[in-house]
């Protein structure tokens, strides 16, 4: 794989050697963190030290860190758990959710609507993917029926960063619990969870160089959450299940690395992002950059480049680039093999055909100029071939 260019860090990023070492070292020790004997207590110590380190890095209290088996589980716990908690406490059934959430939030919200009588308000976004704060304010004007609000910190497809501290403040003033999915943010933007003041924040280990299958919901201990998983009562009875001490140890190392190197990493990927955008504009002049067009990191994730190539099918372009040694993504889900236009781009008002013509290149700490240049070398030919295939298919159809 060494000769390939990997530009899909938003999907997952290489595991750090230090995280792997911590993970492997703990995996070689026996002990259930809930056991009372010496081996169990040693595993428990690893979990609690990791919890404290993660809390210090994210600037929250250790008691807020609820370990889960990744971002998807943390999102499900936040959305369903907060909904059930507020429904049981005050009968609230309204859910405020942005229309551009990752499926790990979108689908639980829709499931609550389909199976639990939730009444969902999908919050609209503008053409750059930024949430309509006036619309949110009018939803919050009647807070008594609102169970929760969930708005992702930064979008995984188009990289747009939301004003989460402002949204948290609006929700707090209305007394409505607020959850934000920060999976794509950790390691790329500063994260001070005390300053942000959300009730629940999702983070995931494999997006920052830790092992797969571990993450956390940083949950205000005062928040009323009904568990999704019932069992042994671990994690303050909020998330039952034997704790993965090895995964958690690796995750803590990855969080420390993500936070300590955040500024440098952001500057590194930002420079590569601008090189890639400038190169795409020069070689495929009608390509369209989606999301916030700014050149800073505050409004758009510094490692995100999301582009539409009019006249191309994104899936075909992805395969052509794959054959040329480049790993990237369309960013959108594929239903039963049929490429669907991204719900994110549709919510931003994009035409479905243009939405289907899109690719996401996402950069990470290990990305290099050579990766960017490999894309720029392969892209014009791939776009031309994809356009020709599109024209032929159109004629044949």
Write down the residue that tokens 């259930």 correspond to.
Answer: 32
**Contact call for residue 68 and ligand PLP (CB under 6 A):** no
Six token digits for residue 128: 């750059």
- Half-sphere exposure of residue 53, counting CA atoms within 13 Å on the CB side? 19
Q: In this chain, which stretch among 158-166, 176-184, 292-300, 332-340 interacts with ligand PLP, using CB under 6 A?
A: 176-184
Q: Are 372 and 279 in contact (CB under 8 A)?
A: yes
* Interface residue with ligand PLP, options 184, 330, 332, 357 (CB under 6 A): 184
Q: Among all chains, which residue has been given the structure tokens 């594929």?
A: 334
Q: Is residue 317 classed as helix, strand or coil in its secondary structure?
A: helix
Q: What does each C-alpha distance from 284 to 4, 41, 266, 287, 324 come to in angstroms?
A: 22, 59, 26, 6, 17
d(CA 266, CA 46): 30
Residues 102-121, mask of contacts with ligand PLP (x by CB under 6 A): x-x-----------------
- 58 near ligand PLP, judged by CB under 6 A: no
The smaller minimum CB distance to ligand PLP, of residues 344 and 379, is found at: 344
CB 77, min distance to ligand PLP, A: 12
Q: Among residues 181, 244, 299, 371, which is the contact residue for ligand PLP, using CB under 6 A?
A: 181
Binding string, residues 188-227; x marks residues near ligand PLP by CB under 6 A: ----------------x-x--------x------------
**How far is Cα 336 from Cα 79, in angstroms, rounded to an integer?**
26
Contacting range for ligand PLP; rule: CB under 6 A; set: 31-39, 177-185, 344-352, 369-377: 177-185
Residue 187 is encoded by which pair of tokens? 């390691």
Minimum CB distance to ligand PLP smaller for 70 or for 85: 70
Which residue numbers are catalytic?
Answer: 334
Cβ closest to ligand PLP, residue 78 vs residue 92? 78
Of residues 140 through 169, those in contact with ligand PLP by CB under 6 A are 152, 156
18: left (phi over 0), alpha (psi -120 to 50) or beta: alpha
8 binds ligand PLP (CB under 6 A): no
Please give the structure tokens belonging to residue 289.
């950059």
- C-alpha distance from residue 288 to each of 340, 347, 350, 358 (Å): 19, 17, 11, 9
Where along the sequence are the contacts to ligand PLP (CB under 6 A)? 70-72, 75, 102, 104, 152, 156, 181, 183-184, 204, 206, 215
């Amino acid at each position: 794989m060494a000769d390939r260019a990997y530009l899909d860090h938003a999907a997952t990023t290489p595991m750090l050697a230090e995280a792997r070492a911590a993970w492997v070292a703990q995996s070689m020790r026996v002990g259930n963190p809930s056991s009372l004997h010496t081996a169990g207590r040693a595993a428990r110590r690893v979990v609690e030290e990791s919890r404290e380190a993660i809390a210090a890095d994210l600037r929250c209290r250790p008691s807020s860190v609820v370990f889960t088996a990744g971002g998807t589980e943390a999102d499900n716990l936040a959305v369903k758990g907060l909904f059930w908690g507020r429904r049981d406490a005050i009968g609230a059934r309204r859910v405020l959710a942005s229309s551009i959430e990752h499926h790990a939030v979108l689908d639980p919200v829709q499931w609550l609507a389909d199976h639990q009588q939730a009444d969902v308000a999908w919050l609209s976004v503008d053409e750059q993917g930024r949430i309509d704060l006036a619309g949110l304010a009018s939803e919050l004007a009647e807070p008594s029926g609102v169970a929760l609000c969930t708005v992702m910190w930064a979008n995984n497809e188009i990289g747009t960063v939301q004003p989460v501290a402002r949204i948290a403040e609006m929700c707090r003033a209305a007394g409505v619990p607020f959850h934000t999915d920060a999976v794509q943010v950790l390691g790329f933007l500063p994260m001070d969870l005390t300053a942000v003041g959300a009730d629940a924040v999702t983070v995931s280990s494999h997006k920052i160089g830790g092992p797969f299958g571990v993450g956390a919901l940083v949950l205000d201990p005062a928040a009323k959450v009904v568990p999704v998983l019932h069992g042994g009562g671990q994690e303050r009875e909020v998330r039952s299940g034997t704790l993965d001490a090895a995964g958690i140890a690796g995750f803590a190392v990855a969080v420390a690395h993500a936070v300590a190197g955040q500024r440098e990493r952001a500057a590194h990927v930002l420079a590569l992002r601008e090189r890639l955008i400038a190169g795409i504009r020069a070689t495929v002049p009608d390509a369209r950059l989606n999301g916030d067009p700014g050149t800073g990191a505050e409004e758009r994730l510094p490692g995100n480049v999301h582009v539409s190539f009019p006249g191309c099918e994104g899936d075909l372009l992805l395969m052509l680039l794959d054959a040329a040694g480049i790993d990237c993504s369309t960013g959108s889900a594929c239903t039963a093999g049929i490429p669907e236009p991204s719900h994110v781009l549709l919510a931003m008002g994009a035409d479905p055909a243009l939405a289907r013509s899109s690719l996401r290149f996402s950069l990470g700490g290990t990305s290099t100029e050579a990766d960017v240049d490999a894309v720029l070398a392969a892209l014009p030919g791939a776009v031309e071939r994809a356009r020709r295939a599109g024209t032929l298919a159109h004629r044949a159809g």
